A and B are shown apart, each in its own frame.
Chain A
Amino acid sequence: MTFLDYAPAPESTSILDLRQEYGLFIGGEWRPGGGTSFASVSPSTERQIATFASADEGDVDAAVAAARTAYRQTWGPMSGRDRGKYLFRIARILQERARELAVAESLDNGKPIKETRDADIPLVAQWFFHCAGWADKLDWVGLGADPQPHGVAAQVIPWNFPLLMLSWKVAPALAAGNTVVLKPAETTPLTAMLFAEICEQAGLPAGVVNLITGAGETGAALVRHPDVDKVAFTGSTAVGREIAKALAGTEKKLTLELGGKGANIVFDDAPLDQAIEGIVNGIFFNQGQVCCAGSRLLVQESIHDAVMDRLKERMSTLRLGDPLDKNTDVGAINSTEQLERITRLVDAGIAEGGEAWSPACELPKEGYWFAPTVVTGVEASSTIAREEIFGPVLSVLTFRTPDEAIAKANNTPYGLSAGIWSDKGSRVLAVADKLRAGVVWTNTFNKFDPASPFGGYKESGYGREGGRQGMQAYLKGGN
């Protein structure tokens, strides 16, 4: 065994105390669902973790009613200061149970423990801590004095950052004074159930947070429910579009965080070693299952070969395998459906003349895996340069001038994220100005912070999460 093979360093799962089955968390109580229960499996082993209730329309009704009651009776009348104190409590309990949550998330999602431990879960706690402080300062979110919550917020979140997306939704909604009904993704419901326990530990009044599990139909019923005032959705552009249509003509407020096809632009004066790290982090973080992933590498022609050499060398040091091993860099793909989608799109890319390269790496026999892949010879018109793959697949395009880089970066219906790598500050700022993307990372990538608004242009959705702008999405009026 060579040194770089690093002996196994698995994080113990003994910290988990999971139930065999989880119900719906409605009005502060656990109850069975009207639909057929479903199992969540660990993507790295295909072994069942637990079963989860499926909420039918009656359950959705009950959850919305519970949220409405709590809004009228407890959370709505409560002072902002007290709401904030509940959220601070939750933030602290999240920190206390961070290791357990990191293990659970890694188990359920398939992402490396190092990411859940160092990124997802710390950000979850930070998000609650940040929003907690807003609860008694709403006069300053920028809507005038005394803005009001919408009422009941329906929230549907994806599987790529299960608990983090929950925190992006629940924390600002509660701080603003709304009550929530949230549906986690069907393949990653586990940490939402643990979050219900945390709400119980925090003594959060019943009905303020209601968590209902289920598939797409459950989410569809939730966002269309007539007694919902505000809908927040993170997920695919296709589903976002359907929700926007369904809500047309209603009084419901809507924010959408949808797909992306982020360009990562590397200029010839880039800090090269850091750019390589940024490219790797941009597309292989969370197996590329990130809406803001830097999935299109735009590299200046003059340094294309140097960048590709270094990138391939760096990719060769990525360690793919057991998500719970503390040295794993690339974990499992979340589901067999997602794996099929990635495979199909990469095949299409190769069929269109792209050249795919992956480092030598053995994929485990069980579970859903896709090796980190870079596809060169991609043109702006190629399928894999246009469609969101949502996997560890980087498409490489070249450019000659800053204007060409900007034009290619913007040549997409999406507009969520972009990266710029250059040592020239004035150029960085000018290019950032021209990019039609909600988040532009310069000399870094995939950074998130509750104080920093996040969200897209164009078909990447509307509304922002994080910061003052994120709070505004959960408030109306103001004098």
Chain B
Amino acid sequence: MATAKTATTTASRAAAKPSTRLDVPKTYKLFIGGAFPRSESGRVTEVTDARGRFVANVAKASRKDAREAVRAARKAQPGWAGATAYNRGQVLYRVAEVLEGRKAQFVDELQKTEGLTAARAAKQVEAAIDLWVWHAGWTDKIAQIGGNANPVAGPYFNLSVPEPTGVVAIVAPQAQSLLGLTSVVAPALVTGNTVVVVPGGAGLSAISLGEVLATSDLPGGVVNILPGDAAELAPWLAGHADVNALDLTGAGELDWVELEQLAADTLKRVIRPVAGPAPETPQRILALTETKTVWHTKSRL
């Protein structure tokens, strides 16, 4: 969250680390197309902890960053959807593995930005890790749940399968930012969608998650993370003709009716806001799919 800059930033940073070594703070940028660029707008959001101490200047995405993110997501989509379900599952599981290894960092960030105790922060990180694992296991099963062979009245082989809807723009939940982000991004990825997401919270754990994703064999552009002002960015995403679905899970505080109307211009699939993280259900995964039904003639002759 952005607050007024204080005069004590350097001092407070030093106070947090009572070691003699001067630590190296991270620059929190955007995550677009597998890279970590600054916002083209040059803007940042200053993030402070619960006591008002400086934590970081997080890059603040602009509409042009959103445009680039959609472009990157579209470019990456056929490849991600074309990967085998087994492969997607392994990548998502790898996300959990890498996240587990960097747990301390996420705990630290959540403590600073969400004012959590170490225990509460750890609980959220662990829940997020487990949610990645849960979704990793779905990639090669969801088509069996969401698809079917159809006994049509004629000599035809007829099969329905859920396929990714394409590029999904997401407004992630504000609360429990890491878990909320995972709850909306992971289900979209399971079937092969690519994502442009405006994370909730301060954006620190979102960008750190971006680093995890970037080192988990997830192809560049599959997930694009745009820390910034959701109210500013969401209309551009909702109105973008190359976005296929709009997930408003975390948009409850925004004028989401207007966003839904913008989405209607190109008949985007819309998920309406819910309180808290998205529910952990296969329906949630299937909500971002298209049932494709293929008929083929069937004959011995």
Q: Please list the residues of chain A having a beta carbon within 8 angstroms of any beta carbon in chain B.
A: 126, 142-143, 237, 240-241, 244-245, 248-249, 256, 258, 413, 415, 428-429, 432, 434-444, 447, 449, 451-455, 457-462, 464, 467-469
A437-B292, A453-B160 known; A248 vs B260 contact (CB < 8 Å):
yes
Q: Is the CB of B154 within 8 A of A449?
A: yes
Contact of B165 (CB < 8 Å), options: A142, A244, A457:
A457
**With an 8 A cutoff between CB atoms, is B153 at the interface?**
yes
Q: Is the CB of A449 within 8 A of B158?
A: yes
**With an 8 A cutoff between CB atoms, is B126 at the interface?**
no
**With an 8 A cutoff between CB atoms, is B10 at the interface?**
no
A451-B150, A451-B151, A468-B148 known; A241 vs B293 contact (CB < 8 Å):
no
Specify which chain A residues have a CB less than 8 angstroms from the CB of B260 in the assembled complex: 244, 248-249
Contact of A443 (CB < 8 Å), options: B244, B267, B290, B297:
B297
Q: Is the CB of A467 within 8 A of B295?
A: no
Extra inter-chain contacts (14) besides given A434-B78, A437-B292, A449-B154, CB under 8 Å: A143-B283, A245-B264, A249-B260, A432-B292, A438-B292, A439-B293, A440-B295, A447-B154, A449-B150, A449-B158, A451-B152, A452-B150, A453-B293, A457-B292
CA A413 to CA B264, docked complex, whole Å: 13
**With an 8 A cutoff between CB atoms, is B50 at the interface?**
no
Give 6 pairs: A residue, B residue, CB < 8 Å, sorted on A: A237-B267, A438-B291, A442-B294, A444-B297, A449-B150, A457-B290
Across the A-B interface, the 10 shortest Cβ-Cβ residue pairs: A249-B257, A248-B260, A244-B264, A449-B152, A248-B261, A245-B264, A451-B150, A442-B296, A452-B150, A443-B297
A447-B156, A451-B152, A469-B160 known; A438 vs B296 contact (CB < 8 Å):
no
CA A291 to CA B291, docked complex, whole Å: 17
Q: Is the CB of A258 within 8 A of B150?
A: no
Specify which chain A residues have a CB less than 8 angstroms from the CB of B9 in the assembled complex: none
Contact of B267 (CB < 8 Å), options: A244, A434, A453, A464:
A244
| Nearest-Cβ distance from residue A259 to partner chain B, whole angstroms | 10
B interface residues, how many (CB within 8 angstroms): 37
CA A444 to CA B158, docked complex, whole Å: 12
CA A451 to CA B156, docked complex, whole Å: 12
Specify which chain B residues have a CB less than 8 angstroms from the CB of A248 in the assembled complex: 257-258, 260-261, 263-264, 270
Specify which chain B residues have a CB less than 8 angstroms from the CB of A452 in the assembled complex: 150, 152, 158, 160, 293, 295
Nearest CB in chain B to that of A415: its residue: B290
Interface residues of B in 253-292 (CB under 8 A from A): 256-258, 260-261, 263-267, 269-270, 283, 290-292
A248-B261, A256-B267 known; A453 vs B145 contact (CB < 8 Å):
no
Specify which chain A residues have a CB less than 8 angstroms from the CB of B265 in the assembled complex: 241
CA A434 to CA B158, docked complex, whole Å: 17
CA A447 to CA B166, docked complex, whole Å: 26
CA A17 to CA B154, docked complex, whole Å: 34
| Nearest-Cβ distance from residue A232 to partner chain B, whole angstroms | 15
Q: Is the CB of B267 within 8 A of A441?
A: no
Specify which chain A residues have a CB less than 8 angstroms from the CB of B256 in the assembled complex: 249
Specify which chain B residues have a CB less than 8 angstroms from the CB of A449 in the assembled complex: 150, 152-154, 158
Specify which chain A residues have a CB less than 8 angstroms from the CB of B295 in the assembled complex: 439-442, 444, 447, 452
CA A142 to CA B152, docked complex, whole Å: 19
Which of A428, A434, A435, A439 has the most chain B CB within a 10 Å cutoff?
A: A439
CA A143 to CA B146, docked complex, whole Å: 10
Chain B interface mostly: mixed
Q: Is the CB of A245 within 8 A of B261?
A: yes
Q: Is the CB of B296 within 8 A of A241?
A: no
| Nearest-Cβ distance from residue A353 to partner chain B, whole angstroms | 27
Q: Is the CB of B293 within 8 A of A454?
A: yes
| Nearest-Cβ distance from residue A126 to partner chain B, whole angstroms | 7
Q: Please list the residues of chain B having a beta carbon within 8 angstroms of any beta carbon in chain A.
A: 78, 145-146, 148, 150-154, 156, 158, 160, 165-166, 241, 244, 256-258, 260-261, 263-267, 269-270, 283, 290-297
Q: Is the CB of B291 within 8 A of A455?
A: yes
| Nearest-Cβ distance from residue A303 to partner chain B, whole angstroms | 20
Q: Is the CB of A461 within 8 A of B267?
A: yes
Specify which chain B residues have a CB less than 8 angstroms from the CB of A462 in the assembled complex: 267, 269
CA A389 to CA B224, docked complex, whole Å: 38
Nearest CB in chain B to that of A251: its residue: B272
Q: Is the CB of B266 within 8 A of A458?
A: yes
Q: Is the CB of A440 within 8 A of B294?
A: yes
Nearest CB in chain A to that of B255: its residue: A249
| Nearest-Cβ distance from residue A140 to partner chain B, whole angstroms | 11
CA A260 to CA B159, docked complex, whole Å: 21
CA A434 to CA B192, docked complex, whole Å: 13
Q: Is the CB of B291 within 8 A of A413?
A: no
| Nearest-Cβ distance from residue B94 to partner chain A, whole angstroms | 25
| Nearest-Cβ distance from residue B76 to partner chain A, whole angstroms | 16
CA A457 to CA B266, docked complex, whole Å: 11
| Nearest-Cβ distance from residue B194 to partner chain A, whole angstroms | 14
Q: Is the CB of B267 within 8 A of A444?
A: no
Specify which chain B residues have a CB less than 8 angstroms from the CB of A440 in the assembled complex: 292-295
| Nearest-Cβ distance from residue A167 to partner chain B, whole angstroms | 15
Which of A248, A413, A435, A441 has the most chain B CB within a 10 Å cutoff?
A: A248
| Nearest-Cβ distance from residue B259 to partner chain A, whole angstroms | 8
Specify which chain A residues have a CB less than 8 angstroms from the CB of B270 in the assembled complex: 248
Specify which chain B residues have a CB less than 8 angstroms from the CB of A437 in the assembled complex: 292
CA A248 to CA B152, docked complex, whole Å: 36
| Nearest-Cβ distance from residue B73 to partner chain A, whole angstroms | 16
CA A170 to CA B137, docked complex, whole Å: 38
CA A432 to CA B158, docked complex, whole Å: 12
Which of B151, B264, B291 has the most chain A CB within a 10 Å cutoff?
A: B291
Which of A241, A244, A436 has the most chain B CB within a 10 Å cutoff?
A: A244
Specify which chain A residues have a CB less than 8 angstroms from the CB of B297 in the assembled complex: 442-444
Which of A142, A442, A469 has the most chain B CB within a 10 Å cutoff?
A: A469
Contact of A413 (CB < 8 Å), options: B263, B266, B296:
B266
Specify which chain A residues have a CB less than 8 angstroms from the CB of B156 in the assembled complex: 444, 447
Specify which chain A residues have a CB less than 8 angstroms from the CB of B294 in the assembled complex: 429, 432, 439-442
CA A240 to CA B267, docked complex, whole Å: 8
CA A361 to CA B153, docked complex, whole Å: 35
Specify which chain A residues have a CB less than 8 angstroms from the CB of B266 in the assembled complex: 413, 458-459
Specify which chain A residues have a CB less than 8 angstroms from the CB of B244 in the assembled complex: 458
Which of B156, B166, B294, B297 has the most chain A CB within a 10 Å cutoff?
A: B294
Q: Is the CB of B153 within 8 A of A126?
A: yes
| Nearest-Cβ distance from residue B257 to partner chain A, whole angstroms | 3
Q: Is the CB of A428 within 8 A of B296?
A: yes
Specify which chain B residues have a CB less than 8 angstroms from the CB of A439 in the assembled complex: 292-295
CA A436 to CA B81, docked complex, whole Å: 12
Q: Is the CB of B148 within 8 A of A438?
A: no
Specify which chain B residues have a CB less than 8 angstroms from the CB of A468 in the assembled complex: 148
Q: Is the CB of B296 within 8 A of A443?
A: yes
Specify which chain B residues have a CB less than 8 angstroms from the CB of A429 in the assembled complex: 294
| Nearest-Cβ distance from residue B248 to partner chain A, whole angstroms | 10
Specify which chain A residues have a CB less than 8 angstroms from the CB of B261 in the assembled complex: 244-245, 248-249
